[in-house]
Amino acid sequence: MAPTFLVVGATGNTGKGVVETLPKLLKASKVFSSHRILALTRSKDSAVAQQLAKLPGVEVAEQNWTEITVDWLRQNEVVRAFIASHNQPNQFAEESTFHLNALNAGVEYVVRISTTAANVRPDCQAYYPRSHWAIEAMLSSPEFKALQWSSLQPNVFLSYIVGPVAEYIKQYRKTGKSRKLLSMLSADAPVAPVDGPEVGVFAAHLLAQEDITAHNNAKYVLNGPEDISGEQLVKLTEEHIGAKVEDVAFKDMSFIDEMAVNTKESKNVILSLKHAQETGWSGECTASTTSKKVLEIAPPKHTAAEVLKAMLKR
């Protein structure tokens, strides 16, 4: 078995970008050309998993990352790892266990996915950014000095912003009838949503760095290349349907109410998600906040218009 780059969540929103990018980078490296990539998924039979398994140097395996132990990491000779955790209320318990096991197994470097930088603070009203803040505080502690890490703080993903628009357009083209267009964006505040796979591309570039000293304990902000407002998103929709959108709900977080009704978790905790977009509504998540290193290494390029066009072809 060869030394291994582990990718947790390989078929997910960001993990796919990691796995698709990493083989070329490792092949070009004098240090890592003989390393393997172990991509974890919940199902090896999924279309994405089968596609990734065809990439050179990539092995796809079914493994619940929350059950990964110190022994498992050692047996698989994991030297570097990428993790995109879930954002459920038990995130801190499960992700912190992964990092503790990585520390004790001698893993050299971990790149993790955090969340919107403006939210990663101990007093954020939405619950999951506080978990990310706590993970970053833990990794920054003296006890974790031996584990090098970088935390990526991406803005809201374009798929969440553009997805409802794509469904609206498809239904309109099918029926010729309009319905209310729901958008998490405010009408006029500029926000720069980022394409998830492009976050994975940047993560792959970090993982492939032979000297990671400059990236240790780093927190990188990733936004898309351009700002867009809710009103601009509506105009984009109208361009595709050739008609005016008559009914729009901006700052729509109504889907959280349905989540709270169906959850087995604390409803109070789940309802706190309604606050997650407030920093975007106040103009704190623009393209201008992207970290300089991101722009130097692998700047996100996909715009809302481009992602929408791709979604409409599916």
The stretch 209-216 carries a mean pLDDT of 97
109-113 vs 148-154, strand pairing mode: parallel
Residue 214 has what pLDDT?
97
Percentage with pLDDT > 70 across the chain: 100
Compute the distance between CA of residue 1 and CA of residue 138 in angstroms, rounded to an integer: 31
Q: Is the pLDDT of residue 280 over 90?
A: yes
By the 8 A CB rule, do 300 and 225 touch?
A: yes
Q: Is the pLDDT of residue 184 over 80?
A: yes
By the 8 A CB rule, do 233 and 245 touch?
A: no
- Of the pLDDT bands very low, low, confident and very high (cuts 50, 70, 90), residue 314 is confident
The pLDDT tens digits of the residues spanning 71-126 come to 999 999 999 999 999 999 999 999 999 999 999 999 999 999 999 999 999 999 99
Give all domains of the chain, ordered by start, each with its CATH number: 4-156+195-222 (3.40.50.720), 158-192+225-285+301-312 (3.90.25)
Bigger pLDDT: 178 or 280? Answer: 280
**CA angle, residues 219, 141, 146, in degrees to nearest 5:** 85
Count of C-beta atoms within a 10 Å radius of residue 47: 9
Compute the distance between CA of residue 203 and CA of residue 151 in angstroms, rounded to an integer: 9
The stretch 29-35 carries a mean pLDDT of 94
By the 8 A CB rule, do 198 and 267 touch?
A: no
* Cα-based distances in Å from 152 to 107, 133, 140, 147, 219: 19, 12, 14, 16, 6
Tokens at residue 279, please?
Answer: 């920093």
